[in-house]
Structure 1
């Protein structure tokens, strides 16, 4: 079978397409999954561009890719799954350290030791290949009606994890949020937008994508309000670090923007990965509000900021900051339900997020600067997918 791998060589790592043996079931609880499509995100960009991945111990290569939609083609007798079922797979595996209570309790997304593995990212092969074998414990069934947008379950699970954290945290008070500010209009920013609109919140999105972009149109199509960033380059800013998908490198003035536009957010989602916003956002946030960080900063950006201001805002106004990366089975399951709700309320908008459809062979040379919102790799044709899952697949599965 063909696979996209990160390989080692004397001059460093590189990404290529190679042939690998088709994996076989190793136990009665295993299933073999035919990959239908695999989404690419910022982590994949870092792996492909900056060779960010960690190879399995003793291996010379790592199969990349961690956002899977596939179909079960072989199921062990103890798996409780059956051929023809759509499925996705959890990404993180527990560290195995008996002192890590989170991993011992099935909450490896909160691993305290840092010695976890992640499929396609760190120490374990991923899903950008034709077939995947996995223990059924880590396989999440996906309803057939989600075939068109099921590849979004993994990124939506990150949003769901943050949403669940926010709900748990805000039980500390009588909180009735009304206004949300989302920074960045990449895949996570748009999924956060659709999530917040699906529960009736007033959503403002601040991003550098043009007002006539697909990103902006998706925001408006679900009733959100889109604000194009007024770029102000700062000395030393790396304007190329965050690209396509609504990054905001080299931009300042989030608090000023919120004041000028009279936006008073109860909740801010930082989805651009431009870390200075994470701190500036604290000033713009309402008392008792929450700042959720979903974008992962890359590089070594530095800013001058008043630590006293941060202290005062958090202590005197009861503000909180949370982060979300990776997710649990419960988050994957709630992600599926949320995507179904979003599709019912805003038909066709989820499919619009997947702006580029690629083949395996195009991945190593992918220019992420040219990706409008999200790139998805298709490993089978629409006709083959329909045959594998028994029909019911429309364009853009």
Structure 2
């Protein structure tokens, strides 16, 4: 069987480029994609540095990568939605076709989800990758493969905004100006939010936020009190409280500040991952009759919307990309993300050629 190179996490803190078999189409609805660009996600870095995320533990070598775009090079006999030569973004999680969650459209909650680069499923940092035809999305010719690789995190931001029912005229607060936080704010602005306030501990990230829909920014010092943060947020909004809060940092202090910041009857969407257990101001939340929503990946329609936002220019992801490495330097790319975490927004690995 022919082989290809793959970026493999052997174990915690050890990534190597190894050979893996080139997959063959066996399902008539599958397509083979030549991967052209892959983004490094925080989860990939976490597996690299920690070896696990919650219950997902790297017990055997794992091919990394799940934010990818490429070109269709082969299609199964029953494929009708794409053809050879199409440029596509790849949705990396395929659920069971028979679960109640999938049938309801909430396939992100399917207990049988096979998600790329999540143990035990290999990821997309290879030359050729197989995907069902309904989990690839055509890209407009003017969208680069690097931008196409950002469709995956953009879909998370779309999902968060759909959960929040973000609408015209609203004030939105984003806590944490990392990649998903920046995109959540950009999507909120595209959905019609009038005010988008970003909060972060790094001035450089807040400067970046100005390219992603920020109308106001708040620099929060890590040693400051959460009540100080609430005061800064409401002051920035002229004494008002935000209609929607996206908590994208996972930090306990920010989660508590989010509860205290959201307006009465407002919506709080938890996007960031943090500690399993935190001190949560439940009484204040209840008295506000606020709505709390967890946010996990994306479901029906989110990838489509992300591609449309990108192709129409409603969201520009180019400023998100801070560094590009060739496939041959994938190990260096991961080390770069770890060593320059403060300055990295989105690193892209191109190829392999």
TM-score normalised by the chain length of structure 1: 0.76
Check conservation: 1:35, 1:70, Cα contact below 8 A.
yes
Equivalent residue in structure 2 for 1:353, among 317, 320, 323: 320
Distance 1:370 1:350 in 2: 20
Partner of 1:189: 181
Q: C-alpha distance in 2, partners of 1:195/1:176?
A: 12
Kindly provide the CA deviation profile for residues 320-361 of structure 1, in whole angstroms up to 9, marking residues without a partner as x: 1112222134110011112234x3x57xx5211110112324
2:154 is aligned to 156
Aligned twin of 2:200: 207
The match for 2:51 is 51
Of residues 281, 285, 288 in structure 2, which corresponds to 1:313?
A: 288
Per the alignment, residue 26 of structure 2 pairs with 26
1:79-112 deviation per Cα after TM superposition (whole angstroms, max 9, x unaligned): 122111111222223257x6x411344532022x
SS at match of 2:307: helix
- Measure, in 2, the Cα distance between the counterparts of 1:48 and 1:17: 14
Summarize deviations over 1:119-150 as a string: whole Å, max 9, x none: 11132211011110122132222222222511
- Summarize deviations over 1:50-78 as a string: whole Å, max 9, x none: 1126579xx94221111111111111221
Structure 1 gaps, min length 5: 235-250, 382-397
- The residue that corresponds to 2:210 in the other structure is 219
CA distance in 1, matches of 2:305, 2:324: 26
8 A Cα contact 2:177 2:209, kept in partner: no
Who is 1:121 aligned against? 118
CA distance in 2, matches of 1:233, 1:161: 31
Does the C-alpha gap of structure 1 residues 144 and 300 become closer, same or farther in structure 2, counting only changes over 3 Å?
same
Q: 1:221 to 1:108 in 2, by over 3 A?
A: closer
Q: Matched residue of 1:279: which SS?
A: helix
Q: 1:154 Cα shift?
A: 0.6
**Aligned position for 1:166:** 164
In structure 2, how many angstroms separate the alpha carbons of the residues matched to 1:118 and 1:221?
Answer: 28
Secondary structure, in 3 states, of the residue corresponding to 1:123? coil
> Would the alpha carbon gap of residues 309 and 222 (structure 1) be closer, same or farther in structure 2, given more than 3 Å must change?
closer
Q: Does structure 1 conserve the Cα–Cα contact (< 8 Å) formed by 2:243 and 2:266?
A: yes
Given the alignment, which residue of 243, 256, 263 partners 2:231?
256
- Asked if the contact 2:147/2:317 (under 8 Å) is kept, the reply is yes
Cα RMSD after superposing both structures:
2.8
1:269 deviation in Å? Answer: 1.0
Contact 2:199–2:206 (CA under 8 A) maintained in structure 1 = no
Secondary structure of 1:336's aligned partner = helix
Alpha-carbon distance in structure 2 between the residues aligned to 1:300 and 1:78: 44
Counterpart-to-counterpart distance in 2, 1:311 and 1:223: 29
Task: In structure 2, list runs of 5 or more residues that go unmatched.
Answer: none
Residues 186 and 215, structure 1, Cα contact 8 Å, conserved in 2:
no
**Cα pair distance change 1:309/1:218, threshold 3 Å:** closer
User: Corresponding residue for 1:379?
Assistant: 351
C-alpha distance in 2 between matches for 1:221 and 1:31: 34
Moved more, 122-131 or 193-202: 193-202
Is this contact kept in 2: 1:66–1:126, CA < 8 A?
yes
CA contact (8 A) 2:337 2:347 kept: no
Q: Deviations over 1:191-214 (max 9, x none)?
A: 11211222252111111121xx26
The whole-number CA distance in structure 2 between the counterparts of 1:229 and 1:84 is 48
Instruction: Report deviation, 1:161.
Output: 1.3
Structure 1 residue 157, shift from structure 2 partner:
0.8
Superposed counterparts of 1:66-77, under 5 Å: 66-77=66-77
SS at match of 2:157: helix
